[in-house]
Structures are given as structure tokens and as C-alpha cells.
Amino acid sequence: MSATLYLPDSFDRAILAILQRDNATPQREIAEAVSLSAPAVQRRIKRLEDTGVIRANVAVLDQARLGRPLTIMVEVRVASEQPHRVAPFRRRVQEDPAVQQCYAITGDADFLLILTAASMEEYEAISERLFGNDDNIERFRTAVALSTLKRGLDVPLAQ
């Protein structure tokens, strides 16, 4: 997947840094912090959204407080990477709400999934949904997070 490179100027980088910390920061506060007018900040944010630099405005939820304390990483190896063979798996991953992230990767596995679950029993059901009855899944290997040292999606902003 190729993306068009966007090179933010110093104002855009300052705005993006604030929005990465707290996307609910009022535009007037952002304007004061970056020494621009509120309308200028609004235009810049709109351009950042229109160009796809800002992909979404979301709330980050505490999964443990919502009854989903488990974070599970799963490496998946497929027998064939031919598009028609892997398409059903990709579709299941896209549609399953327990899958928070999925990456096509290099190395011994073909995909890395980050899942959330309420219990190991629920993970067993998730793994059956995602991997069961798929003869293209060669193997999958599971690791359960014992604790979280860092969690985030912040992008380092080059100067």
C-alpha cells in the first residue's frame, strides 16, 4: 500500500502533536499554543483531514475497565499467499470486532494480529472463528500480554 507523502510544516507538526495528545483540545487553545488564529488552525486541521494525514477522530477506551482485560498477539502462517486463498481470512479479520490490529508481516509468520478478549474462553471462540475450518491456515501462535508497558498510536513528527 503506497501513500502520498505529506510533509507538514512547523505549524502543522505543532498542531498534530497537540491533537495526538488530546484530540478534544479546543481549536482556540491550539491556536494560542501554535501562535496562529483559530480560523487558520481550523483550515489546517481540515486540510490534514482531507489529505488523509488525520485518518480518524476517536476516543481511546480502557479495555480492562470495559471487561476485556486480555491483549493477545497472534502470529498466523498461511499455506498459500495467493489472493483468492487468503481473501476469506482477510475478510474475517476485517469483520471481527475482537481484532484491533492486523499486519501482513515478513519472517516466519505472514500476519500479526492484536486481539482483545474478556477471557481465555472467549479467545478460544475467537480463534475458532478466525482460524478454524480454514485449510489455508498452516498454523497460528499465541502470546498473551502479562502487562502493558506502552500503548499508543502516536507518530513521531520529524522536524
Q: What is the tens place of the pLDDT at every residue in 3-50?
A: 788 889 999 999 999 999 999 999 999 999 999 999 999 999 999 999
Determine the average pLDDT of the residues in 122-140. Answer: 97
Residue 87 pLDDT > 90: yes
- The torsion angles phi and psi of 18, rounded to 5 degrees, stand at -65, -45
Cα separation values, 151 from 12, 61, 138, 141, Å: 24, 12, 30, 22
- The torsion angles phi and psi of 123, rounded to 5 degrees, stand at -60, -40
pLDDT given for residue 159 in this prediction = 67
Residue 1 pLDDT > 70: no
Round the average pLDDT of the chain to a whole number and report it. 95
Q: How far apart are CA 10 and CA 3, in angstroms?
A: 21
Q: How far apart are CA 159 and CA 153, in angstroms?
A: 19
Residue 148 pLDDT > 60: yes
At 51, the pLDDT band (50, 70, 90 cuts) reads very high
The total of other beta-carbon atoms located within 10 Å of residue 129's CB is 14
At 2, the pLDDT band (50, 70, 90 cuts) reads low
Q: How far apart are CA 52 and CA 3, in angstroms?
A: 9
pLDDT given for residue 6 in this prediction = 86
Sole residue written with cell 502462517: 77
Q: How far apart are CA 107 and CA 34, in angstroms?
A: 43
Q: How far apart are CA 41 and CA 143, in angstroms?
A: 43
pLDDT given for residue 27 in this prediction = 96
Cα separation values, 69 from 87, 119, 150, Å: 30, 8, 15
pLDDT given for residue 3 in this prediction = 72
